[in-house]
Amino acid sequence: MAMMRLRREDPRVVGSFRLHRRLGAGGMGVVYLGSDRRGQRVALKVIRPDLAEDPEFRSRFAREVSAARRIRGGCTARLVAADLEADRPWFATQYVPGPSLHDKVNEVGPLPVAQVASIGAALAEGLVAVHEAGVVHRDLKPSNILLSPKGPRIIDFGIAWATGASTLTHVGTAVGSPGFLAPEQVRGAAVTPATDVFSLGATLAYAATADSPFGQGSSEVMLYRVVHEEPQLHGVHAALAPLVRACLAKDPEDRPSTVQLSLRLREIAAREARGLPEGAATGAAVRPTRPAVGRRAEQYARQRTARDGDRPSSGSRASRGAPGRRGRGGPDAAKGAVSRTPSRNTPSRNTPSRGTPPRNTPPRSARPAGGGRAADGGRTPARPTPRHPARAAGAPRTGGRRPAPNRHLLRQRLVVFVTVTLLVALGIAAAQGCQGPARGLERPTAPVVPDPSPEEPSKPPHG
């Protein structure tokens, strides 16, 4: 912000603040750079003498300053102090270092679309806090937006309108800046948060084109265009034009909310910063999607490659173990016999049988490219390009992802293990059963005394 020396008529001390420079002048008064006793710098605005003499203005201004105290947010300049009972009312806000958006565009020209969207998202978020406090700014324009190192800041709530208060617009007079006023402000109707949305759309159009969307001209011409003509957005980037046009709708009900603006502008800023096309996702990098059939074919090819090892590749049927070639002579048949020999870890049920493809084999129409018929009528094996470059030339596997386990092999091993365990348990039980009777014979037994039988005659006593 450009600073000028104090003039002779300018005060040197206002309240507890000492004034150092003149920052600018507006429709309500003059803005000065001041500081308190602790050295805190403020932007202090002193109201014009003619407005200070209006009792109605003082009462309305008091309500608006009270509403401005409730605003909390990082995208606005915080209200520090105010004196509404002075001869010339004044208020001081936090000083924000940095140029205004108006000065920035005049210096460098139209801003990039990503920067415009980023500034717009921060401003929309600041307006959310302003509207939640029950305040409408009513004069949002490029000169009231400061580009600080911490982000854009909204300043100058001097003509802000509080909810429940009457408008400051007199009959036949529009308070604000032509070209950035909403149609309802020009007509003298009640203002709403949608009024600031219209001004934000005009501000974004100015940042993108270095010109007002309603052109240049006198105040009367500009106000007429705002009410009756459509905005000119030819220079606005295609990613921003639809959103800006929605903000500049004549009917307040047709404009988006500040929350919707913030989310949409952040999405545009992130996409344009990464150079992604319209409609691309911004949360993650865009990756091509492979068909499900192609993924199954590639998985089957990797499993088969890991199972067969370094089997020589050939275009004949015998080298692939095709049906109808088994048992026949010739070098190709020998190769086929070697490749058909199951290894210790490979069950025979996974070997492609005659006439029926394996369970994971995709249909021929869905196999990867390169697996068609060769010129001599034979088939060339469809081997997909490995993911790692080191494996492209048939290099042995040294690390990385391991092949998927064979479920049939795991099931067969589990059956064998359970069977062997049961056989061992049965053998131990049988051995213990055979040893039980033998040990019983070795035990001493008591002599058996026969009971006297009733049929046996008793011997006569010796007489």
Report the percent of the chain where pLDDT is more than 70. 60
Evaluate if pTM is beyond 0.85: no
Residue 458 maps to a domain:
no
- Distance between CA 100 and CA 435 in Å, rounded? 104
Looking at the structure of the chain, the number of domains it has is: 1
Evaluate whether residue 6 is within a structural domain. Answer: no
- Can you give the residue range of the structural domain that contains 270? 13-274
- Tell whether 367 is covered by a domain: no
Residues 104-109 have a mean pLDDT of 95
CATH code: domain of residue 123: 1.10.510.10
The catalytic residue positions are 139
pLDDT above 80: residue 264: yes
Q: Which residue has the higher pLDDT, 93 or 336?
A: 93
In a domain? residue 119: yes
In whole angstroms, give the CA distance from residue 179 to residue 211: 10
Position 336 confidence tier, pLDDT thresholds 50, 70, 90: very low
pLDDT confidence bin for 133, thresholds 50/70/90: confident
Tell me, yes or no, whether 359 lies in a domain.
no
Least reliable range by pLDDT among 260-264, 389-393, 429-433: 389-393
Using one digit for the tens of pLDDT, what is the confidence trace for 205-256?
A: 999 999 999 999 999 999 999 999 999 999 999 999 999 999 999 999 999 9
Q: Is 169 domain-assigned?
A: yes
445 in a structural domain: no
Q: Quick: pLDDT tens for 270-298.
A: 998 887 666 554 443 334 334 344 455 56
The pLDDT, as a whole number, for residue 155 is 84
Phi, psi (deg, nearest 5) at residue 424: -65, -40
pLDDT in tens, 43-88: 998 988 888 888 888 887 787 787 778 787 778 888 889 998 899 9
What is the chain's mean pLDDT, rounded?
A: 74
178-207 b/e (C-beta count within 10 Å ≥ 16 → b):
bbbbbbbbbeeeebbbbbbbbbbbbbbbbb
212 within domain boundaries: yes
pLDDT of residue 371: 45
